[in-house]
Each structure stands twice: as structure tokens, then as C-alpha cells.
Structure 1
Amino acid sequence: MNTAAAAMKEAPQDDDDELKTKLSLLRASVHNQDPSCKFQDQEMDDSTLRRFLRARDLDVNKASEMLIKYITWRKTFVPKGYISTSEVPNQIAQNKMFMQGKDKQGRPVAVLFGSRHFSCKGGMDEFKRYLAFVLDKLSSAIPEGQEKFTIIGDLQGYGYSNSDIRGTLAAISILQDYYPERLGKVFVVHVPYIFMTLWKIICPFIDKNTRKKIVFVENNKLHETLLEDIEKSQLPEIYGGELPLVPIHNC
């Protein structure tokens, strides 16, 4: 075997060894800052640590900082380890988030109806709790061997009353800061012109890797575009598939 071939054969092992080393360094760094952290818990297992490492381009120090921020947030914002429906009644009443089926990679599929979102009583705190509620639901539906979920953002009927800049920025922040490497793809469908004004405002706050996962779908190519990633048997009925939508709070 020549030198180049030998190097190619050994590279995957070298990469694996490097990752194992960085995982050990990350555990040590986080433990030094928070000795109460339990790495055997599902929320802090090797898969979670790898996601935070990838989100910071395998930089241990940056990943450690991000993890500590996440741990602190979970302790203060989700002290019971979960958000109950009784904590987000106004958001659930809007009936805007559904989950059903999986894409071709096995990622759970959620559908969000933007026209059903309104700033309401309960305010920003309840909305942030709702974000944690739905993102935890989606994450718990991810099968073993997969790490991400897919979202269809449907903007049919979206108008000025649905344009919530503060809420959208909060959603971006929570997703990027506390659920790194969870988002697989976002299909934005039935996009009205009015939404593009909001998009220009929020786009700079979305990191470049996340922006690459957002696909704006043309109305006349909706069905065929979704079918590229989702089998008809797993696609919601409203998009020509076979599955009924299930409210995420009932999943």
C-alpha cells in the first residue's frame, strides 16, 4: 500500500481519535465550571456534546462556553426538566404547531402555521416557554442514529398582525443557542410578499449554516419540492400526502 493510500485509510481513525480527545477536554472543562453536571444524563450525553462541538467548529473553549450557557438556561428556564401544557395555555390555544411523519432521513417533520401566531397575553415569557416546549417535543421524537428535525413553515394567510419581530428573534436565539445542530431543514411555503420585509430584518441574526438550511418554495413547485425530501406516505394531507396533522401538544 502506498503512502497516500495508507494515509487515507488511517484518516477516519485519526479523526475519531481527535473527536474523542476533544470530547474528553470538553467534559473536563464543563465539569470544572459546573461540578454538578451529570454527563450520563440524556441531555448531556456524548451525542449532545458532539452537537455543541460541531456548532463551534470543534473549538473546545467555545463549545464549553456554549454548553455552560445552555446548562444555566435549562436550570433557570426549565427547572422541572420539561415544560407542561399548563405553562403555555395561550400559545397552545393558537393551535399553530403540528407534528406528523418523518422525512427520508428519518427526521421528524413539524408544520408551523405562521398566520395563527399572534402576540398575546402571557407575553414573551410564555412564548419562550412555548419554544422550549415544542423544541423539546421535536427533539424527543428524533430516532436513534439521527439528530435533526425538519420544519415546514406555512405562511398562507400571513399578514401584518402575525409579524412578530421580537418573537421571531427570540425563536432564532433559542434555537441557535440551546438546540444547536438540531435543525435539519426548513421549507418556507406559501410565502407572501409582506413576509420578505420581516425576513430582511431577521436574516442578519441567522448564522450562515442555519441560512443554508432554509428553502423558500415556489407555490407551483410545492408538492414536487416536498416530495424530494419526504415520501408521500409521510407527507401531511394538506400538501398532497397521506398523513393527518396532529397538534404538537397532543404528541
Structure 2
Amino acid sequence: CTLLIAIMFLRRRRTQDHQDDDMHRGAKHEIAHEGETGKVSRADFHDRLERPVLIMRPGMQNTTVGEDNIRHLVYLIENAILNLPEGQEQMSWLIDFTGWTVSTNVSIKTSREVVYILQNHYPERLALAFLYNPPRIFEAFWKVRIPQFAPVVKYFLDPKTLEKVKFVYPKNKACVELMSSYFDVENLPSEFGGKATLKYDHKEFSRMMLQDEVKTASYWGFDYKPCHLNNGYSGPENVPEPIPLAPPAS
């Protein structure tokens, strides 16, 4: 259910009839392979304000199809919204750049599409994004220390979103204090300077996603019959036209 909401959400953004038909035919497109390496997943811990956390590891990029990358991310954003505690409307992102190279980078077109979706369809859902151990040039771009690149940064992000991005570097005292102010270091994975061990089991994570899909369908009164779980996120056999899971954050 959540998966199809994500896919149908993207379909509604298309304006040309033939594109719309193509997306409709692909509504049951399998995206389980996108999560095999754990490049994006929902953490089993929250930040200090009880916000759900999405963990992203660009260095584990395993596919090149931009559309599938976007569907996978939207799927997990919707799942994080589903798991928001009462009174909380936002989530935090932890982005680990360890192992990142130009060859594992997503295209500029896909990056721009992700930013568009976040800013226009999930306004104020992102509380903070922590970029851990990124290439130093990233921060130079972000803070516009290189004037000629200022239009590039503004092209991607609005000023409000820019303020939510935090650059974090290992063994930097100020960065260590920043992370401990937002996260309990006992729960925070060592990849982000904490003491916990980050373990990603794709099969187990898929089962957790399936349980959430069943929960979502039950909430909306859908007759949800999950397909056989085959080491990945399952899709329903019969799904009505989807309804947004949650209203935009205020």
C-alpha cells in the first residue's frame, strides 16, 4: 500500500498522457532491489526529540535507474511518516558519505527531482539532515564560499532547507558535541560517531516494511492481501486508488 502510494504519487506528477499511462502500467514495479545494500533505511532508534531517523549511505549505491531510486526514497519517507510518534511531524536524516565516489553518485537530474519532491510534497517534514564525513568541497558549495557556484546551490535548495543541513566530520570536537546534542550516543551507530553497531538485514527490514503496509491498509479500511515476500518489499494483489497517508506538516 505504502509502496503504491509512493509510485502513484510520482505518477500524478506527470502531465503528458503517455507518461501517465506508462507509470500506471508500472505501478506494481518491484523496487526491492533498491534496498538490498541498505543504502536507505529507517533506523531502529529516534533522535532526542523522538523523531524517526532515515539513514542514507550513498557509498552503497547499487543501481543507476533514477526513477527507481526516487520511488524507493519516497517509499521510505512515507514509512517514516507512518511511524511518527504522536505530536511529532518531522524526521531526521543521517547521511554517511563513507565510501562515496563519483561512480556511486546519482545523476544531477535525479538529485534535482528528489529535492523537488521533498520541498514541494513533503514541506517541513525534514527537521535536520546530518551529512557525515562528506567531501570538504560539499560544504564549500553549500555555504557558497565559492561565489560563482552560488546559483547552483540556489537552483537545488531553497534557503529554509539549506539551514537544515549540518556538516559533520569525525574526530572534530564541535561535530561530536553537535551529534551528541541531537542523538543518544549509546544508540547512534559508530558510522556516525556513536557507540552502537549498525546492522542491516535486508530480509528482516523487508518484513518490517510489510508489517507497516498491512497496518496502513487496515487503518484506511483496505482489503490488503500481500504477495509472497521474496527478500524484498511486497506489493498488494488488489489496491484501490491510494489516499495520502498524512497531511503536510504544519
Assess same fold via TM > 0.5. Answer: yes
Shift in CA distance, 228/197, structure 1 to aligned 2, threshold 3 Å? closer
**In the alignment, does 2:163 pair up with 1:212?**
yes
Please give the secondary structure, in 2, of the residue aligned with 1:109.
strand
Pick from 156, 179, 184 the counterpart of residue 127 of structure 2. 184
Unmatched tracts of structure 1, length 5 or more: 1-68
**In the alignment, does 2:142 pair up with 1:170?**
no
CA RMSD of aligned residues (A): 3.2
Please say which of residues 222-231 and 182-191 is displaced more in the overlay: 222-231
Give the match for residue 124 of structure 1: 66
Q: Deviation digits for residues 74-97 of structure 1, max 9, x if unmatched?
A: 9x7998xxx87x621331223201
Letter in 1 for 2:38: N
Shift in CA distance, 142/95, structure 1 to aligned 2, threshold 3 Å? same
Letter in 2 for 1:97: V
**Cα drift, residue 128 of structure 1:** 2.1
Give the match for residue 113 of structure 1: 57
Q: Deviation digits for residues 46-80 of structure 1, max 9, x if unmatched?
A: xxxxxxxxxxxxxxxxxxxxxxx999449x7998x
Letter in 2 for 1:225: L
Please give the secondary structure, in 2, of the residue aligned with 1:220.
coil
Larger helix share, 1 or 2: 1
Give the match for residue 228 of structure 1: 181
**Cα drift, residue 118 of structure 1:** 4.7
Q: Find the aligned partners of 1:124 and 1:210 in 2 and give their Cα distance.
A: 22
**In the alignment, does 2:113 pair up with 1:160?**
no
Equivalent residues in 2 for 1:187-202, closer than 5 Å: 187-193=130-136, 195=138, 201-202=152-153
Note if contact 2:128-2:166 (Cα within 8 Å) is conserved in structure 1: yes
Q: Find the aligned partners of 1:197 and 1:115 in 2 and give their Cα distance.
A: 20
- In the superposition, the TM-score normalised over structure 1's length comes to 0.59
Aligned-residue identity in percent: 23
**Cα drift, residue 243 of structure 1:** 5.9
**In the alignment, does 2:87 pair up with 1:133?**
no
Please give the secondary structure, in 2, of the residue aligned with 1:142.
coil
Give the match for residue 6 of structure 2: none
Shift in CA distance, 106/243, structure 1 to aligned 2, threshold 3 Å? farther
Q: Find the aligned partners of 2:79 and 2:168 in 1 and give their Cα distance.
A: 26
Unmatched tracts of structure 2, length 5 or more: 1-8, 15-19, 143-148, 209-250
Note if contact 1:100-1:245 (Cα within 8 Å) is conserved in structure 2: no
Equivalent residues in 2 for 1:32-71, closer than 5 Å: none
Q: Find the aligned partners of 1:245 and 1:202 in 2 and give their Cα distance.
A: 34
Shift in CA distance, 78/174, structure 1 to aligned 2, threshold 3 Å? farther
Give the match for residue 43 of structure 1: none
**Cα drift, residue 157 of structure 1:** 1.5
Q: Find the aligned partners of 1:151 and 1:113 in 2 and give their Cα distance.
A: 11
**Cα drift, residue 124 of structure 1:** 2.5
Q: Deviation digits for residues 201-239 of structure 1, max 9, x if unmatched?
A: 455321111110000112223443211101124322433
Give the match for residue 46 of structure 2: 102
Bigger Rg over Cα: 1
Q: Find the aligned partners of 1:94 and 1:244 in 2 and give their Cα distance.
A: 13
**Cα drift, residue 249 of structure 1:** 4.2
Q: How many residues end up aligned between the 2 structures?
A: 176
Give the match for residue 91 of structure 1: 34
Give the match for residue 241 of structure 1: 195
Please give the secondary structure, in 2, of the residue aligned with 1:158.
coil
Q: Find the aligned partners of 2:30 and 2:10 in 1 and give their Cα distance.
A: 21
Q: Find the aligned partners of 2:187 and 2:23 in 1 and give their Cα distance.
A: 32
Give the match for residue 143 of structure 1: 85
